[in-house]
Amino acid sequence: MQDTLTQTWQETVRKFAAQSEAMGELHPEILELAYQENWFKLFVPEIYGGAGKKLPEILRLEEELAETDGSLGWTVTLCAGAGWFAGFLNPALAQEIFADKKVCFAGSGAVGGIAIETENGYLINGHWKYASGALHATIFTANCILKKADGTDILDEEGNPEISSFILNRNEVEILSGWSYFGLMATGSHAFEVKDLVVPKNRTFKINNNIEVAGEGFDYPFLQLAETTLAVNSLGMGQHFIRLVENSFLSRTGLRRYNENQIAFFNAELNKCKTEVETLRIQFYQAFDESWDQLIHAGAIEDQQLESVSKASRKLAHVCRRTADTLFPYCGLEAAKKESEINRVWRDIHTASQHALLTFES
**Which of 174, 205, 236 marks a domain boundary?**
205
**Do 39 and 82 touch, CB atoms closer than 8 A?**
no
pLDDT tens readout for residues 131-176: 999 999 999 999 999 999 999 999 988 999 999 999 999 999 999 9
Largest Cα–Cα distance in the chain?
78
**Which of 88, 116, 142 marks a domain boundary?**
88
Any idea what the CATH number is for the domain that residue 190 is in?
2.40.110.10
pLDDT at 255: 59
Residue 243 confidence (pLDDT) above 60: yes
- Asked if the structure places residue 246 within a domain, the reply is yes
Number of separate helices (H) and strands (E) present in the chain: 9, 7
Is there a single domain that holds both residue 185 and residue 261? no
Residue 13 structural domain: 7-88
What would the DSSP string read from start to end of 189-201? -EEEEEEEEEEEG
**Do 91 and 212 touch, CB atoms closer than 8 A?**
yes
Any idea what the CATH number is for the domain that residue 27 is in?
1.10.540.10
What are the distances in angstroms from CA 278 to CA 195, 240, 275? 48, 13, 5
Find the DSSP H helices in 84-174. Answer: 91-97
- Asked if the structure places residue 210 within a domain, the reply is no
> Predicted confidence band at 362 (pLDDT cuts at 50, 70, 90)?
confident
- Asked if the structure places residue 62 within a domain, the reply is yes
Is there a single domain that holds both residue 57 and residue 84? yes
**Do 46 and 52 touch, CB atoms closer than 8 A?**
yes
Is there a single domain that holds both residue 118 and residue 77? no
**Do 139 and 106 touch, CB atoms closer than 8 A?**
yes
Going by C-alpha positions, the residue among 172, 192, 178, 241 that lies closest to residue 24 is: 178
For the chain, what is the domain count?
3
Is there a single domain that holds both residue 77 and residue 113? no
Is there a single domain that holds both residue 185 and residue 237? no
Residue 5 confidence (pLDDT) above 90: no
**Which of 171, 205, 239 marks a domain boundary?**
205
pLDDT at 253: 60
Is there a single domain that holds both residue 198 and residue 230? no
- 3-class DSSP state of 164: strand
Is there a single domain that holds both residue 228 and residue 284? yes
Helix (H) or strand (E) holding 239: helix 222-253
Residue 6 confidence (pLDDT) above 90: no
- Asked if the structure places residue 195 within a domain, the reply is yes
Q: How many CB atoms lie within 10 A of CB 217?
A: 18
pLDDT tens readout for residues 45-103: 999 999 999 999 999 999 999 999 999 999 999 999 999 999 999 999 999 999 999 99
- 3-class DSSP state of 168: strand
pLDDT at 2: 47
Residue 16 confidence (pLDDT) above 80: yes
- Asked if the structure places residue 348 within a domain, the reply is yes
**Do 300 and 358 touch, CB atoms closer than 8 A?**
no
- Asked if the structure places residue 292 within a domain, the reply is yes
- pTM score: 0.94
Going by C-alpha positions, the residue among 5, 42, 3, 56 that lies closest to residue 232 is: 56
Is there a single domain that holds both residue 72 and residue 44? yes
pLDDT tens readout for residues 253-296: 665 778 889 999 999 999 999 999 999 999 999 999 999 999 99
- Asked if the structure places residue 130 within a domain, the reply is yes
- Asked if the structure places residue 261 within a domain, the reply is yes
Is there a single domain that holds both residue 236 and residue 350? yes
Is there a single domain that holds both residue 74 and residue 156? no
* Cα 118 from chain centroid (whole Å): 34
Mean pLDDT confidence for 5-19: 87
Is there a single domain that holds both residue 244 and residue 341? yes
Question: For all residues of the chain together, what is the average pLDDT?
Answer: 94
Is there a single domain that holds both residue 229 and residue 344? yes
pLDDT tens readout for residues 172-225: 999 999 999 999 999 999 999 999 999 999 999 988 778 998 788 899 999 999
